[in-house]
Amino acid sequence: MNLKTFYSTMASLLMSASLLTPKLEARTCSGNADVIGSYGFTASRAGFFLLGATPPGTAGGPLIPVPIIPPGTGGGAVIGSNTPIGSLVAGLANRNAFASVGRIFADGMGILYASSTTGTLTTNTIVGTYIVSSDCSVTMTIGDPFGSKGSQTGSTGGIVGGTTTVFVGTNPISLEGLIVTSGVSDEIDLVPTGSNSLGASLTLIKTSQFNACSNASVNGSYSVIGQGLLTPGTSTTTIGGTTGGTGGTTGGLGGTTTGGTTTNATGTGAFVSGVTGSLGTPFLVFGRTVADGAGNLLTDVPSTTSPVKRSITGTYTVNADCTGTARLQDISLGVVRNVSFVLVSQGPANLLQTVARQTLEFVFIDPGVLGSGEAKQQ
């Protein structure tokens, strides 16, 4: 082999190696403008994180504190307003196990807005601020301006990072997180930084639409999965329950179930309860449902054959701001649970899909029922 051929061969090998070697490229963001639009928020703190958190013989409440009913009356050192943001802030600030959903709007300039009323498109009250760094990390502050102590005076102005402090409401919570997806699905994962907030997490995902959601927005077959805890004294199975209250967005708050009889939840239905202990009864929900686009949850057509027989029926209502409520019923066991949800957009299921899938992030809202889950479009 002559020298020319040798160098030519080596150059080809080096070029091939460079093409095969993955490049390590850190993702970059341009700033606050990368976070803009309507986001559904889901937040929770699981009960297992609090196991053993309170030393025996000391004050601090039960082993796993649960929300007080109704909202806004107690449940910890921080009392929030009876609003989605109030439930979120109180849940993050206290040591309680909680789950909450709602909607928040980012203006692309570092300000977060929300409404005091579930289901409306009005988002003209400042509830938080945020800063997006070049490495796509995010720092955020969220407060509750809707309570009796949260006067909205001064909540319509201010400059982030400037000399004027933006009023975000009472009991502001500091969070830090990362932008993890962009494009078809925009998601931000955050955790609070305060010592009393440990164990909680907050996720922001772009809503399915900005301001035109309706029952027709939920259409097709969905896989439903979730888990939770029935606090002591709560029925494991309820037949003939009715949904009550539209303002409860925190697990264990805002709904009522009446007129039912109770039995033990056993078998392989969609809702299955575990062994009851001193803290309550854990349960799992897993099943499939078909939304007809008109507010009804149905089973598959009789001709459909499947080894998984865990059907969920019921009804649902989608508000214009992509929040809503639903009544989930397990046909085989007769279990009825009411949930509050926000409709968000998840990434495509595979490379052939170019549109985001619909996902309902939900929390249970019946008294004494604490937990959350999601229903993903198949």
Using pLDDT thresholds of 50, 70 and 90, give the confidence band for residue 4.
Answer: low
Closest to 100 (Cα-Cα) out of 375, 271, 339: 339
User: For residue range 197-222, what is the model confidence (pLDDT) as tens digits?
Assistant: 778 899 999 887 666 889 999 999 99
Length of the chain: 378
How far is the C-alpha of 320 from the C-alpha of 323, rounded, in Å? 7
Q: What is the mean pLDDT of residues 226-255?
A: 54
Instruction: Choose from 13-27, 113-127, 192-206, 317-331 the range with maximum mean pLDDT.
Output: 317-331
User: Residue 196, Cβ neighbours under 10 Å: how many?
Assistant: 15
Alpha-helix residue ranges (DSSP H) falling in the chain? 3-20, 84-93
Radius of gyration (C-alpha) of the chain in whole angstroms: 24
Query: Residue 113 pairs with which residues in a beta bridge?
Result: 105, 126
> What does residue 100 show for φ and ψ, rounded to 5 degrees?
-150, 155
Q: Identify the weakest region by mean pLDDT among 271-285, 286-300, 330-344.
A: 271-285
| N-to-C CA span, the chain | 60
Torsion of CA 170, 115, 166, 206, to 10 degrees: 110
Max CA distance (Å), the chain: 93
Residues 306/300, Cβ–Cβ less than 8 Å? yes
Query: Residue 44 pairs with which residues in a beta bridge?
Result: 99, 201
If you ran DSSP here, which 8-state letter would residue 231 be given? -
Tokens matching residue 275:
């062994």
What pLDDT sits at residue 259? 32
Report DSSP letters for 184-211, one per residue: SS-EEEEEE-SGGGTTEEEEEEEBSSSS
Tokens matching residue 90:
């109180």
Q: Is pLDDT larger for residue 203 or for residue 65?
A: 203
What pLDDT sits at residue 188? 93
Residues 179/36, Cβ–Cβ less than 8 Å? no
How far is the C-alpha of 101 from the C-alpha of 79, rounded, in Å? 18
What pLDDT sits at residue 293? 93
Helix (H) or strand (E) holding 226: strand 219-230
Looking at the chain, the domain(s) classified CATH 2.40.128.10 span 32-206
CATH class of residue range 32-206? mainly beta
Tokens matching residue 377:
């479009």
Helix (H) or strand (E) holding 130: strand 125-132
Torsion of CA 346, 352, 354, 358, to 10 degrees: -30
Above pLDDT 70, what percent of the chain?
64
Helix (H) or strand (E) holding 103: strand 98-107
Local structure of 89: helix, strand or coil: helix
pTM: 0.76
User: Residue 234, Cβ neighbours under 10 Å: how many?
Assistant: 19
Per-residue pLDDT at 55 exceeds 70:
no
Burial of residue 13 (number of CB atoms within 10 Å: 0-12, 13-18, 19+): exposed
User: For residue range 348-366, what is the model confidence (pLDDT) as tens digits?
Assistant: 544 444 456 789 999 999 8
Torsion of CA 131, 132, 133, 139, to 10 degrees: 50
